[in-house]
Structure 1
Amino acid sequence: EEVNRQGLRDKINLKKMIFGSERSSDAMRRRIKELLNLEDMFDIPGMTELYGPGTGLDCAYHQGIHYWADYYILEILNPETLKPVAEGEIGEMVVTTLKKEAAPLIRYRTRDLTRLIPGQCPCGSILPRHDRLLGRSDDMIIFRAVNIYPGQIDHILSGIKKIGSEYQIILERKEDGRDYMTVKVERQQGIGQDQNAALSQIIADEIKKQIMVSAGTVEIVDYGSLPRSERKSKRVFDRRA
């Protein structure tokens, strides 16, 4: 967005991008690709405690992250019971290093959520795959007795047309003692305010359908009105006392 705002798009001959730092939604990836006119983008997860940036890499088929199984053992565990989940189920990444000497890690809890992807990738690589990072186990919020990860909301919003990639989840406890959720979502650039009511209803219906909670208020706001950050974006504002 900043590149376009400063009129630099035609001066940057960027064709492919390797990006990381935080979990990104499909909507955000599409937006970055569109704004920079990229041919392709590749996801690279990383963690300072492990081997820094580059603990795996997305390939041209975008069917998961090929992780360096010759450098570390990856387990996917239930974050509450710490027992292995079935292949394909979401859980917390737990790693054991095979090459680090000064500061080895043994069954280190990363708090990152993902799942193992069975089978071989169409690219032909023999390296195993895990899904893109889907969130963090310590980001979980409890709303009306339902465990919710922000990534679930992100996933829902990424599948809805005419909205942008920026959103906020606001949790409040009212005088009646009940918890209420407000979801703020930007309209896509070029979409008018006359679409607000329809978009709000679609989002509320999908949240109810997919995670079985009612988003009390879905507020559609202007494109560019929600704050941007050069660091990790804050999505959840829990104002419950």
Structure 2
Amino acid sequence: MIFNPEHECMSTEARKKLQLANLKNLVEKLYTDVPFYRKKMDALGITSRDIHTLEDIEKLPFTTKDDLRENYPRGMLACPKDRIVEVHMSSGTTGKPVVDEYTQKDIDIWREAMARTLAGGGCTKDDIVQNCYGYGLFTGGPGAHYGAMNIGAEVLPMSSGNTARQLMVMQDFGTTMLTCTPSYALYMAEEAAEAGVDLKTLPLNKGCFGAEPWSENMRKEIEARYGMKAYDIYGLTEIIGPGVAFECEAQEGLHVNEDLFYPEIINPETGKHVPRGEKGELVFTTLTKEGTPLLRYRTRDITYFMDEPCSCGRTTVRMHRLFGRTDDMLIIRGVNVFPSQIEHALFGIEGTEPQYLIVVNRGDTHLDEVELQVEVKQEFFSDETKKLEALRTKIEGVMKSKLQIGLKVKLVEPKTIERSIGKAKRVIDNRKI
């Protein structure tokens, strides 16, 4: 389903014209109303009069998460405070939280972006959406809620946690669509199996999952356990929340709502644009935001653009599913490794459970040592030791082949690795301690 054909199927020429007009207005607004940006642009000798084409965006300054933290709480506000109707922010676990402030127009834009997102996953007004993203200052719960309401679907605002109740409501109310993190979807599937609930017999037939990187094989695992289609969605608090990009029924890349958010891919080292189709860091400019609009925000997420026409009919650019984040990337003995690469390789090995933990230490020889803890099916611990050893050897061989580094594999029993009702913690890097 295409929620807004006028904008999602707009011609490239018309979209570029709209983007350029909005970019010029944004630059003028930020220069006039936000001292932080005025100082940045003055240092570069740039004004809105220097923006003649979309390519001129490269002349403009970047914005980073550190910039947002340094301007906490309201240094990035671009409108009178009495126009703000809602505030969201990140957890702030590694410093000052990142704040996003919304005018009523911003909320309306968010509703639109998330309606497109959920519609991309097949949501219609006839669906019952069980929303298990967290509510509160986190953007996940409210974003999915707004989008489903905009479509006209029925929303069950469950938030995260209390899994037994989630399963009860799922059965009693006939949930047809699930929204949560992919790791929590797997956890619910585990709990359902333990409680004797066959998810495949329920009306639930689709889900939109995001807020953390997840691999193609993890998607297959979720789809197999629920008997449904699992769609990837993307967003971040700094830009608006969820609703920035989403998969359609083709499941071949995420459509960017680029009439609302202008995307770029840059070399994270140089800050320059990379050739189209080449992997790099994702950057977004909020073209229509009023409360806390951002110019060239560096997301730290790694992906690339896919320009081939999509079978769904949308003309918006697609980005490949995330490979990881520049700040999540592990450098192991000189080799760059993303946790999602390990996950993708691991989930293709029969006998393993979809739960793992990567522990990185610096050994006595000052070389990096990586232990991959993997949950395996219970029968391996009830069978011969040589069968368990064979599985461990197989996993180590697959990792060596796929990643070009040696990992020490530790097989653990089911339910050993701590579960999360939100974003899963997959890496413990003791080298930083």
TM-score (norm 2): 0.51
CA distance in structure 1 between the aligned counterparts of 2:317 and 2:204, rounded to whole angstroms: 29
How many percent identity over aligned positions? 39
Counterpart residue number, 1:14: 204
Counterpart residue number, 1:127: 316
Alignment RMSD: 2.2
Superposed CA offset, 1:192-229 (max 9, x none) = 655433332232223222332111x1122223322110
Ranges in structure 1 where 5+ consecutive residues have no aligned partner: none
The one-letter code of the counterpart of 1:112 is D
CA distance in structure 2 between the aligned counterparts of 1:209 and 1:31, rounded to whole angstroms: 22
Provide closer, same or farther for how the CA distance between residues 95 and 179 of structure 1 changes in structure 2, counting only shifts above 3 A: same
Q: Is the Cα contact below 8 Å between 2:218 and 2:343 reproduced in 1?
A: no
CA distance in structure 2 between the aligned counterparts of 1:82 and 1:196, rounded to whole angstroms: 47
Aligned counterpart in structure 1 of residue 242 of structure 2, from 16, 33, 53: 53
CA distance in structure 2 between the aligned counterparts of 1:26 and 1:119, rounded to whole angstroms: 20
- How many residues are aligned here? 239
Secondary structure of 2:193's aligned partner: helix
CA distance in structure 2 between the aligned counterparts of 1:234 and 1:85, rounded to whole angstroms: 31
Superposed CA offset, 1:8-59 (max 9, x none) = 4468531111222211223332232233232x12211111221221112211
Counterpart residue number, 2:366: 177
Provide closer, same or farther for how the CA distance between residues 202 and 117 of structure 1 changes in structure 2, counting only shifts above 3 A: farther
CA distance in structure 2 between the aligned counterparts of 1:137 and 1:156, rounded to whole angstroms: 20
Secondary structure of 1:54's aligned partner: strand
- State how 1:63-142 maps to structure 2 within 5 Å: 63-142=252-331
Q: Is the Cα contact below 8 Å between 1:164 and 1:189 reproduced in 2?
A: no
User: Is 1:221 matched up with 2:408?
Assistant: no
Counterpart residue number, 1:232: 423
Counterpart residue number, 1:3: 192
Q: Is the Cα contact below 8 Å between 1:164 and 1:185 reproduced in 2?
A: yes
Counterpart residue number, 1:208: 400
CA distance in structure 2 between the aligned counterparts of 1:160 and 1:89, rounded to whole angstroms: 29
Pick which of 164-173 and 188-197 moved more. 188-197
1:62 offset after TM fit, Å?
A: 0.7
Secondary structure of 1:45's aligned partner: strand
User: Is 1:199 matched up with 2:403?
Assistant: no
Q: Is the Cα contact below 8 Å between 2:278 and 2:304 reproduced in 1?
A: yes
Q: Is the Cα contact below 8 Å between 1:73 and 1:98 reproduced in 2?
A: yes
Provide closer, same or farther for how the CA distance between residues 163 and 174 of structure 1 changes in structure 2, counting only shifts above 3 A: same
Determine which structure has more spread, i.e. the larger CA radius of gyration. 2
Q: Is the Cα contact below 8 Å between 2:324 and 2:339 reproduced in 1?
A: yes
1:183 offset after TM fit, Å?
A: 0.9
Q: Is the Cα contact below 8 Å between 2:218 and 2:344 reproduced in 1?
A: no
Counterpart residue number, 2:132: none
TM-score (norm 1): 0.88
- State how 1:128-167 maps to structure 2 within 5 Å: 128-167=317-356
Provide closer, same or farther for how the CA distance between residues 116 and 199 of structure 1 changes in structure 2, counting only shifts above 3 A: farther
Q: Tell me which protein shows more strand as a share of its residues.
A: 1
